Chain A
Amino acid sequence: MDSIAQRLSAAGTNNALELRGVTKMFGALAALTDITLSVKPGERRAVLGSNGAGKTTLFNCITGDFLPSSGTIRLFGEDVTEFPPQERIRRGLRRTYQISALFPGLTVRDNVYLACRGVSRGRFSFIRPRFNDPLVQAAENLIEAVHLTGVIDRLVAELSYGQQRQLEIALALAGAPRFILFDEPAAGLSPTERAELVEILTSLPTHFGFIIIEHDMDVALRVVESVTMMHNGRIFKEGTPQEIESDPEVQELYLGGGHG
């Protein structure tokens, strides 16, 4: 079993994530234009930007849900531009979806169990997991970490919206994640649920980094050390949370009617 430390040193001086000149066209619409971005291992970053700025499209290109129209994507130094999503996931990338992408016909336990199984061997196994199977245990621990133990055997279709958002996060924490992409995890949550989310995010182990897309500055700026601002498919500012918050251009865009 390779430890996190071994993996980190294997990654050497490589960035966790490195994008060079990534462009994504939808027909004539440029959803992303010439994105160049690098994130260090263990770094926590927020991606901010108005609706339609291209934030989700950026995630989709990183995970391989969409192939970029041009540019390269490196994950821990390895060029994964042409890789299908599962190959990137097996290398330690994880993501959550802005609109929950769960398995409504399965229980919470099975949802998380699948997430654990997806990044380990035996995906095609005909052998039923026993209650003391390490993956079953891992799934239960994850469910506890996102406070869903009370509904562990309920079908996902029966969960409340907030519980589904928590489950989204659990799915992204399965296995040994090295880098996670959170797409608006707080969208639609109540203030109490938001507080709980911030607690879950801040209590994540510090050895893996993440990018979080978040409209709510209160959530975003409290859990990250760097910020990337996007607008119309381009990166137009990068800095620390303090720099971004006090930046006049950002102020104008975010608070001065940049929406709509």
Chain B
Amino acid sequence: MTGIDQTSLSRSTSLKLFGYHPVVIIVAVLLLFMPLIANDFILYQIFSWSFMLGIVALSLMFLAGYGGMVSLAQMTIAGFAGYMVAIFGVNGIASVSIGWPWWLAVPMALFLATLLGTITGALAVRTEGIYTIMITLAIAAAFFYFTNQNYAIFNGHTGINRVATPHFLGVEWRSTVPFYYLTLGFAVLCYWVTSWISRAPFGLALQGVRDNPRRMAALGFNVNAHRIAAYVYASFMASIGGILLVWGNGQISPGSVSVDVAIDNLIIAVVGGISRPIGAFIGALIYVVLRTFALDVLVAFGLDGNRFRLLIGIGFLAIVFFSPDGVIGLWNRWRNRHASVSTVRQGGAHG
């Protein structure tokens, strides 16, 4: 039953609650019990980071994969949310700290960052392809330079440090294990909602807009309204990622919203594969593992540790060259081959 079930699973309109692939179940169990196996370094540096970067990459995957809109501003939205939660909440820079409790600062940050993302979207949806990339890149660059020079709100080049992290239900959520579950929880939530939406009218229509905007208008859809709505959702998700990132780091500075970081986000999404939500997290995991260990490996070989970007760049090139659909493209191809073999073996059991 394996081959046929899998191919029909990927296309069927009905949700198969208990029809998950064994790999999914194994991964789920592993992630759930990871704190029993892994040390603090792996939990935070590898997993929490992958979940947080994965959420931001997922917001790009949603726009690019389902909407056909490549936005380089998603890391900027995340960074803006991070700044807002730092500024409205408690931080170490008295001159820029408003000092609200986290449960007020977080909704405020989510709201303002989603608003910024919506405005970005409203500007970007009037353009197509390369121009969307240019306009979102311009917004990313502008925000980077603005935070660098503005001391009244963003504390300029130094940025904001000692950002307070939430403490409630008797748990200090920034300590490693709670933070692991916090980031895992939000990653799963974002992943699940995004997957769910992809088969709901909103997501289907977005894919229609991606494939043929003119026809969508001729079917009764307001194409630009749909695109802007996609930015609203994606920006909300990026904001969640950005708030987690600032809690994880305890600080935020213009370096967190630089153009480099915006492009890293694109690389993460593309390496993982933008056709399905899981790609964002696979891409983030690969990126984080390379960033964390490539340095040591390079130094061990007597090379400059800062060359890890070169490694990531080469990996990026290889992926784009061999599998335009990223790592999940490789996985899909392997699975399809496997599926067609088992279909043949079963003598074409198709109805």
Tell me the A residues contacting B by CB distance below 8 Å. 63-65, 84-86, 89-90, 95, 97, 101-107, 109-110, 113-115, 117-119, 122-129, 131, 136, 153, 155, 171, 174-175
Contact = CB atoms under 8 A, between A and B. Distances in A.
B205 interface: yes
A101 B229 CA distance: 23
Given A97-B218, A123-B221, A128-B200, 18 more contacts: A95-B218, A97-B215, A103-B208, A104-B211, A105-B207, A105-B210, A106-B208, A110-B204, A110-B207, A114-B221, A118-B205, A118-B220, A118-B221, A119-B219, A126-B200, A126-B202, A131-B13, A153-B8
Contact of B197 (A101, A114, A126): A126
Contacts of A95: 218
B15 interface: yes
B14 interface: yes
Nearest to B201: A125
B12 A127 contact: no
Interface centre among B8, B12, B212, B226 (most CB of A within 10 A): B212
A89 B218 CA distance: 6
Main secondary structure of the interface of A (DSSP, over half): loop
A28 to B, nearest CB: 25
Interface string B1-25: 0000000100111110000000000
Interface in B5-51: 8, 11-15
Given A124-B229, A125-B202, A65 B212 contact: no
Given A114-B205, A153-B12, A105 B211 contact: yes
Interface centre among B199, B207, B211 (most CB of A within 10 A): B211
Main secondary structure of the interface of B (DSSP, over half): helix
Contact of A115 (B15, B219, B226, B229): B219
Interface centre among B8, B219, B222 (most CB of A within 10 A): B219
Contacts of A86: 217-223
Contacts of A85: 217-218
B218 A123 contact: no
Given A65-B214, A84-B217, A101-B215, A129 B222 contact: no
Given A86-B221, A89-B218, A89-B220, A123 B207 contact: no
Nearest to B193: A126
A126 B192 CA distance: 12
A84 B224 CA distance: 11
A84 B216 CA distance: 12
A117 B201 contact: yes
Contacts of A105: 207, 210-211
A143 B211 CA distance: 20
A103 B214 contact: no
A137 to B, nearest CB: 13
8 contacts: A65-B214, A86-B222, A103-B207, A106-B208, A110-B13, A115-B219, A118-B205, A128-B196
Nearest to A111: B208
A175 B221 CA distance: 13
Contacts of B204: 106, 110, 113-114, 117
A175 B218 CA distance: 13
Contacts of A155: 11
- In the A-B complex, the 5 residue pairs with the smallest Cβ-Cβ separation, listed nearest first, are A118-B220, A118-B219, A103-B211, A85-B217, A101-B215
B105 to A, nearest CB: 27
A153 B221 CA distance: 23
B222 A84 contact: yes
A95 B214 CA distance: 12
B11 A107 contact: yes
A118 B218 CA distance: 9
A153 B11 CA distance: 7
A95 B215 CA distance: 9
A64 to B, nearest CB: 8
A155 to B, nearest CB: 8
A150 B164 CA distance: 60
Nearest to A107: B11
A118 B200 contact: no
Given A101-B214, A109-B13, A119-B219, A114 B208 contact: yes
Interface in B174-210: 196-197, 199-202, 204-205, 207-208, 210
A90 B220 CA distance: 6
Given A86-B222, A101-B218, A123-B205, A128 B210 contact: no
B216 A127 contact: no
Contacts of A123: 201-202, 205, 220-222, 226
Given A123-B201, A153-B12, A89 B210 contact: no
Contacts of A118: 205, 216, 219-221
Contacts of B214: 65, 101
A109 to B, nearest CB: 7
Contacts of A103: 207-208, 211-212, 215
B218 A63 contact: yes
Interface centre among B14, B208, B220 (most CB of A within 10 A): B220
Contacts of B12: 153
B189 to A, nearest CB: 14
A114 B218 CA distance: 11
B275 to A, nearest CB: 9
Contacts of A115: 219
A258 to B, nearest CB: 31
Nearest to B209: A103
A174 B219 CA distance: 9
A106 B207 CA distance: 8
